Structure 1
Amino acid sequence: MSQLSEPSRVRLFMGLIYKPDSSIVDLLKMLEEKLGAINFASEGYPFNHSSYYENEMGDELLRKILTFEKLIRRTEIVEIKTFTNKLEKVFSYEGNRTINIDPGYIAQEHLILATGKGYSHRPYLGSGVYADLTLKYVKDEYRTLEWTYPDYGNEEMRVLFKDLRNQYVNQLKKESSI
């Protein structure tokens, strides 16, 4: 019989896709009010891996990755996803999103995105939220899966997430020694 136990807490991150003229500063303030301090924010860089968002948001979109200082329980991702869906509506214009917010978490063994779309590789978590296993961590690197989104699978993104994972693991070690 397996011994049941709580897994370690995880690093919350957000993948943002947004129009350059979006109220990104206001969004970041609202995220920090609800979720605590942001401890990493990438520069906004061109999102050119898919045309999926162009009909709704236009072209020349930017991508930004954020992480938060406070570690979370994995189950909290459901509440966080419902919160970010509400924020997307707050920042929408004429019924269209101007900002896409994809929350997820970095664990020692993998990277998970929260989504509202079910599929064979996405277990249901509750409240309309599914877990998407986006990257797995094997032999000191993130590896893609057949369904990994192209931007999450590119080398630069995987290197970035490895660095963020290392920071997270160091925080876990530091907090466990207190």
Structure 2
Amino acid sequence: MGKVDKNIEKVMLFVGILYTEKDNLNKAIKLLKEDFGKTVQFKHNIDFDVTDYYNDEMGSNIKKAFIVFNNLIEREKLADIKLKTNKLEKYFRDEENNRKINLDPGYIALPKLVLATTKDRSHRIYIGKGIFAEVTLYFYDNSFRIYNWTYPDFKKEEYIEFFNQVREKYKRKLNNNDSFGESMDT
């Protein structure tokens, strides 16, 4: 029988944000920072052109942004974080109840990138409170790699490079046991 390690490493929280209006993006970031603290990395204005799934609700010319937070989190907090981001999405609904932003929290651990979702699939694990977790990318041979179920946008080299950089920051933080220094807030 294996030994149970009760000191599981904390992980690096990030949130993916779909948006069409920069003003909504800025408001969402402000509110997310109130909940989760300073950010250390930010990428925005990425064309979200892999699906038209969100077009009826959000319109066309959808962009994606990622914000990465300085404070590491316990993995078991992911369900609560997804519930918070779902609640925040409701704040941004228009008069016809359409979302103006879409928020997808996840985390990076050294061997993987995990996303939270409300949808169950064969490869997702229930983590409580109506939320499932999906290992979307795995780290092997010095880079994140995809699965056959990986979302199409997360298969893009631009995303892989970004998350490889974030993983390096996370790894340095674990090794140095300190913060990243100056925030790279926008």
Say yes or no: TM over 0.5. yes
**Partner Cα separation in structure 2 for residue 50 and residue 25 of structure 1:** 24
Matched, 1:3 2:37: no
TM-score (norm 2): 0.92
**Partner Cα separation in structure 1 for residue 39 and residue 61 of structure 2:** 25
- Specify the code of the residue in structure 1 equivalent to 2:60: D
**Partner Cα separation in structure 2 for residue 160 and residue 111 of structure 1:** 12
Contact 1:44 1:64 in 2 (8 A): yes
Counterpart in 1 of 2:139? 137
Deviation of 1:39 after TM superposition, in Å, equals 1.3
Identical-residue share of aligned pairs (%) = 38
Deviation of 1:43 after TM superposition, in Å, equals 2.5
Considering only aligned residues, what root-mean-square deviation do their CA atoms show, in Å?
A: 1.1
Deviates more, 1:57-66 or 1:36-45: 36-45
Matched, 1:50 2:48: no
Contact 1:22 1:99 in 2 (8 A): no
TM-score (norm 1): 0.96
Structure 1, gaps ≥5 residues long: none
Using CA pairs under 8 Å that are at least 6 residues apart, name the structure with larger relative contact order, 1 or 2.
2
Counterpart in 1 of 2:184? none
Deviation of 1:21 after TM superposition, in Å, equals 5.1
Q: How does 1:15-26 map to 2 (within 5 A)?
A: 15-20=16-21, 22-26=23-27
- Specify the code of the residue in structure 2 equivalent to 1:148: T
Deviation of 1:155 after TM superposition, in Å, equals 1.1
Q: Deviating runs (4+, > 6 A) in structure 1?
A: none
Structure 2, gaps ≥5 residues long: 179-186
Counterpart in 2 of 1:107? 109
Counterpart in 2 of 1:74? 75
**Partner Cα separation in structure 2 for residue 22 and residue 91 of structure 1:** 11
